[in-house]
């Protein structure tokens, strides 16, 4: 007769697998992203995130010791997703100036996504209210680093005048991307359509080229 102990199913004990842990972490981040974007920073609680994604509150606190830490993780996840979208454009099609234009157009499209607009609005509003820089500390921005590299590439190929690549990149990002995204953060509707967004980019890009491009452009 077979030992009855051998016929009993083994119960799962111990820590979850790495894959389970990653899936749980992703579920928490995805849920928190939606709640922060829809309800704002003050209107979202760890309890709401736990109830919505089906994770225990203690589970979330083990991963993210505070709501600020959770929001930082949400922003970092959004940044990583943006980097993946832009990765193929580091050395895209066309000459270096055309690649720079493609990169900036992609920057603009990604930054105008409603979810990112909402996260930017939270960061800005919390900074104003707290006076301490908001829930996200300042740190090197990999997206900006990518843009500086693209400017340097265009300079090396003779398509842009020599100069401080970081300075040029900051003005490009401000004129082409920050203006419409800031307008959207404040509730403006001028750039809601693809046509208006493209018209803004075309006008500003052509104007900027007259000031920074060489005769090779």
What is the structure's pLDDT at 191? 93
Least confident of 142-146, 152-156, 168-172: 142-146
User: At the fourth CATH level, which superfamily is domain 19-65?
Assistant: Homeodomain-like (1.10.10.60)
Nearest 5°: phi and psi at 158?
Answer: 85, 15
Task: Give 197 or 209, the one with higher predicted confidence.
Answer: 197
CATH number among 2.120.10.30, 1.10.645.10, 1.10.357.10, 1.20.1440.230, domain 75-217: 1.10.357.10
Asked if 214 and 161 count as a contact pair (C-beta separation under 8 A), the reply is yes
What burial class does residue 64 get, using C-beta atoms within 10 Å of its C-beta: 0-12 exposed, 13-18 middle, 19+ buried? buried
What is the structure's pLDDT at 157? 94
Instruction: Place 11 in a pLDDT band, splitting at 50, 70 and 90.
Output: very low
What is the structure's pLDDT at 16? 61
What burial class does residue 60 get, using C-beta atoms within 10 Å of its C-beta: 0-12 exposed, 13-18 middle, 19+ buried? buried
Nearest 5°: phi and psi at 213?
Answer: -85, 150
User: What's the chain's average pLDDT?
Assistant: 83
- Give tens-digit pLDDT for 47-79: 999 999 988 899 999 999 999 999 999 988 998
- Give tens-digit pLDDT for 22-50: 888 899 999 999 999 999 998 999 999 99
pTM of the model: 0.74
Asked if 212 and 116 count as a contact pair (C-beta separation under 8 A), the reply is no
Instruction: Place 82 in a pLDDT band, splitting at 50, 70 and 90.
Output: confident
Angle between helices 142-156 and 96-111 (to 10 degrees): 160
* CA atoms lying within 13 Å on the CB side of residue 97: 16
* Token pair belonging to 15: 């820590």
**How is the chain split into domains, by residue range?**
19-65, 75-217
CA atoms of 107 and 116, how far apart (whole Å):
12
What is the structure's pLDDT at 10? 42
């Amino acid at each position: 007769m077979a030992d009855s102990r051998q016929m009993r199913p083994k119960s799962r004990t111990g820590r979850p697998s790495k894959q389970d842990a990653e899936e749980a972490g992703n579920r928490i981040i995805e849920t928190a992203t939606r709640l922060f974007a829809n309800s704002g920073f003050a209107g979202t609680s760890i309890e709401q995130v736990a109830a919505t994604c089906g994770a225990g509150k203690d589970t979330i606190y083990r991963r993210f010791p505070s709501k600020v830490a959770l929001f930082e993780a949400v922003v970092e996840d959004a940044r990583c997703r943006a980097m993946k979208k832009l990765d193929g454009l580091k050395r895209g099609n066309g000459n270096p100036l055309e690649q720079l234009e493609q990169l900036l157009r992609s920057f603009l499209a990604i930054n105008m996504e409603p979810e990112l607009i909402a996260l930017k609005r939270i960061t800005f509003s919390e900074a104003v209210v707290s006076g301490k820089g908001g829930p996200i500390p300042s740190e090197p921005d990999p997206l900006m680093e990518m843009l500086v590299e693209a400017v340097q590439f265009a300079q090396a190929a003779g398509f842009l005048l020599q100069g401080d690549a970081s300075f040029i990149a900051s003005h490009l990002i401000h004129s082409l991307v920050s203006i419409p995204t800031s307008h959207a953060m404040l509730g403006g509707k001028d750039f809601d359509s693809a046509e208006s967004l493209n018209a803004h980019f075309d006008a500003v890009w052509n104007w900027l080229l007259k000031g920074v491009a060489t005769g090779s452009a």
